[in-house]
Amino acid sequence: MLSWLRNLRAGPRIPDAAWQATLDRYPFLSELAASDATRLRELSALFLRDKRFHGAKGFEITDEVALAIAAQAVLPVLHLRGGLDWYDDFVGIVVHATEVVARRRVTDPSQVVHEYDEVIAGEAMENGPVTLSWKAVLDSGATAGTGYNVVIHEFAHKIDMRDGAVDGCPPLPAGFAGARTPNAARAAWLAVLKPAYEDFREKTILADRFGAERPWLDDYGAVNIGEFFAVACEAYFVNRPRFGADFAPLLALFDEFFRPARR
């Protein structure tokens, strides 16, 4: 649907009690400034208008489920130019009661095909739906202290995928970080993100192999730079003080991208 036509339809009115319950359950939402909380509520209503929720294996999509996911999904695009247009490549959100079992099929360098099941908390498909575990979503209020949030993780992937590659670098606006060209902007982004990823990966390896102190972020961020971006986004949005203490250069980089109004 054309964005101008979509904008002619108002989003549903979110009841005050339901909205307050959502804020109370997820402390990183209740800590937003008043103006940000107002915008979060407005965009959440539009998100609910445009997306379609599907419960897997009989799971019931209640108002609590839909609103919790909407509010957390909207957080990363709260200040981005285009807002919800960053999520216009898909409509469906599939919610499982607990963990999701995904069937994988990979071909190794010898061209041997391997199939296996992987248990995941969520998954984002390029130009396709987002899948989430309701248990993991519900736990997000308690796991904020560890920087973990499955909704933000998967929707960060959606932002990263906008240019067709899950490489940790989303499409950057003109003039980002003072860059004159898109290539220069990308180079400036990776000049900060890549060293942070490599350092995190090294610390994770040392912890796994030699018992060194384990880094704060979720180990899954060591898989590749795209996963590191998503894991870092989780922590950036749900536990900014700790994230800033451990990843000060990334905090400044993400502020430049996710909070352009602050320039």
Residues 6+ apart with CB under 8 A from 78: 36, 39, 40, 43, 258
Alpha helices in the chain (DSSP H): 3-6, 16-25, 27-30, 34-50, 63-74, 134-138, 140-143, 150-160, 182-210, 225-238, 240-246, 248-258
Give the C-alpha separation, 19 to 196, whole Å.
Answer: 36
Same-domain check for residues 28 and 80: yes
* Domain range for 62: 1-154
Token output for 224: 């590749």
How far lies 131's CA from each of 23, 73, 96, 164, 229, in Å? 23, 12, 8, 19, 19
Same-domain check for residues 227 and 189: yes
Same-domain check for residues 136 and 198: no
Distance of CA 161 to the CA centre of its chain: 11
User: Domain boundary residue among 99, 132, 154?
Assistant: 154
CATH code of the domain covering residue 201: 3.40.390
Same-domain check for residues 5 and 124: yes
Q: Within 10 Å of residue 246's Cβ, how many Cβ atoms?
A: 18
Positive or negative CA dihedral for 50, 56, 62, 67? negative
Same-domain check for residues 189 and 149: no
- 249 inside domain: yes
CATH code of the domain covering residue 143: 1.10.472.150
User: What is residue 260's predicted lDDT score, i.e. its pLDDT?
Assistant: 61
User: What is residue 262's predicted lDDT score, i.e. its pLDDT?
Assistant: 44
Same-domain check for residues 112 and 204: no
Same-domain check for residues 145 and 176: no
User: Domain boundary residue among 129, 154, 179?
Assistant: 154
- 197 inside domain: yes
Positive or negative CA dihedral for 176, 87, 22, 100? negative
Same-domain check for residues 183 and 118: no
Structural domains of the chain, count? 2
- 160 inside domain: no
Same-domain check for residues 202 and 119: no
- 72 inside domain: yes
- 161 inside domain: no
Ramachandran angles phi, psi of 233, nearest 5°: -60, -40
Give the C-alpha separation, 6 to 1, whole Å.
Answer: 6
User: What is residue 98's predicted lDDT score, i.e. its pLDDT?
Assistant: 86
Same-domain check for residues 21 and 149: yes
User: What is residue 117's predicted lDDT score, i.e. its pLDDT?
Assistant: 62
Sort 59 into a burial class: Cβ within 10 Å, 0-12 / 13-18 / 19+: middle
Same-domain check for residues 13 and 137: yes
Pairing of strands 122-124, 52-55: unpaired
Q: Block means of pLDDT (10 residues each) for the chain, length 263 residues?
A: 46 89 94 94 96 95 96 96 95 90 66 65 89 94 90 97 93 89 94 97 94 90 96 96 95 91 44
- 260 inside domain: yes
Same-domain check for residues 149 and 172: no
User: Domain boundary residue among 100, 132, 154?
Assistant: 154
Phi-psi region of 168 (alpha: psi -120 to 50; beta: other; left: phi over 0): left
- 95 inside domain: yes
- 159 inside domain: no
Alpha helices in 51-181 (DSSP H): 63-74, 134-138, 140-143, 150-160
Phi-psi region of 113 (alpha: psi -120 to 50; beta: other; left: phi over 0): beta
Token output for 168: 């940790």
Give the C-alpha separation, 93 to 96, whole Å.
Answer: 10
User: What is residue 38's predicted lDDT score, i.e. its pLDDT?
Assistant: 95
